Amino acid sequence: MTADPIRELLSQLTPSEPKVDAYVADTYLLETVEQLERMGTDAATFAKEHSLLLLKPDAIVARAIEPTLQWLDENGFRVVAARRLAVDRHLARALWYFAWNIASPQRRRLADLLVGISDVLLLVVHSPATEPPVSVRLTAAKGATDPRKRQPGELRYLLGRHSYLLNLVHSPDDPADVLRELAIYFDERTRSQVLTQALTGTDQTATATALAHELYAAAPARGFDRAEALTRVCGELETPEPDSDADCAELLEAAWTAGRDLDAWSVIVLGSYVFPMRVGSQAQTLRPVSVNDWLEARP
């Protein structure tokens, strides 16, 4: 498939011209488009009628799967496929490759620790309405990354007002991201199985619930309390508890430099409160797409 048809397809799937330019030769997106073509499925229709929802390791230890499934059902999203996935630092970088250049070095290091906490749950969700597409509506209804901006009724608000890093769930911004992320999560054989299952439209909530029990059995529940995390870290380091965020950040940096092996979850929780999450001097490559962006771009 040449670049021109892909560019034409992308123009239907995102209002972002920079994203079209970035994705027109993106291997992940091309893999999914080509596979759907071989299956006789229109890529644009599939991408508009479906989205993905990743329940990250923080969602697993928070026991957030069942509340999420209930929220999806109450908000008109049907789970049509569910898979347990092992994740690593490379998957995280692939997902946020075009936007994570603004992440602070500390945030990237904490994210690398987070992917080691547990496997994750990936849901494919469906809704027949395509304007705005399912991915655009789900991302808006999910709520902001920043806990201060979340509103009652949003998924992230329901699941808990944790930190900027520990936001529990991720979803693609628009249909172009849906196609790209499918190839990040799954190899070709598994992706074929997932796409085939999703296209049947059969509700897979029971499958997702069973996978939740497997994930919970493999990863103990953990708390998100800053004070508790600080107490554990300082206990392991045998040092008094610092008073300020700056001193806590310095303590964690020193422990990393010294190669100290600390409880990873406690480091993640404490670090999510005391480290900067963004580097303001860098420009974001692709900004998130909103419902208004999508509607304003439509003829």
The secondary structure of residue 278, as a DSSP letter, is B
- Same structural domain, 100 and 241: no
3-class DSSP assignment, residue 25: coil
* pLDDT reported for residue 149: 92
In a domain, 291, yes or no: no
- Same structural domain, 97 and 244: no
Quote the tokens at residue 184: 């990040």
- Same structural domain, 35 and 182: yes
- Same structural domain, 123 and 243: no
* pLDDT reported for residue 3: 57
In a domain, 284, yes or no: no
In a domain, 267, yes or no: yes
The whole domain housing 159 covers 3-220
Tell me how far apart the alpha carbons of residues 178 and 189 are, in angstroms, rounded to a whole number: 18
In a domain, 298, yes or no: no
In a domain, 73, yes or no: yes
- Same structural domain, 164 and 262: no
Give me the number of domains the chain comprises.
2
DSSP string, 42-109: -HHHHHHHEEEEEE-HHHHHTT-HHHHHHHHHHTT-EEEEEEEE---HHHHHHHTTTTGGGB-HHHHH
- Same structural domain, 121 and 65: yes
Q: Which of 83, 20, 9, 82 is nearest to 46 (CA)?
A: 9
* pLDDT reported for residue 284: 65
* Per-residue confidence in pLDDT tens, the chain, 299 aa: 555 899 999 999 999 999 999 999 999 999 999 999 999 999 999 999 999 999 999 999 999 999 999 999 999 999 999 999 999 999 999 999 988 888 999 999 999 999 999 999 999 999 877 689 999 999 999 999 889 999 999 999 999 978 889 999 999 999 999 999 999 999 999 999 999 999 999 999 999 999 999 999 999 999 999 999 999 999 999 999 999 999 999 999 999 999 999 999 999 999 999 999 988 655 667 777 777 777 777 65
In a domain, 191, yes or no: yes
* pLDDT reported for residue 282: 57
- Same structural domain, 50 and 194: yes
In a domain, 287, yes or no: no
- Same structural domain, 17 and 92: yes
Our measurement of the distance from residue 254's CA atom to the centroid of its chain's CA atoms, rounded to an integer in Å, reads: 30
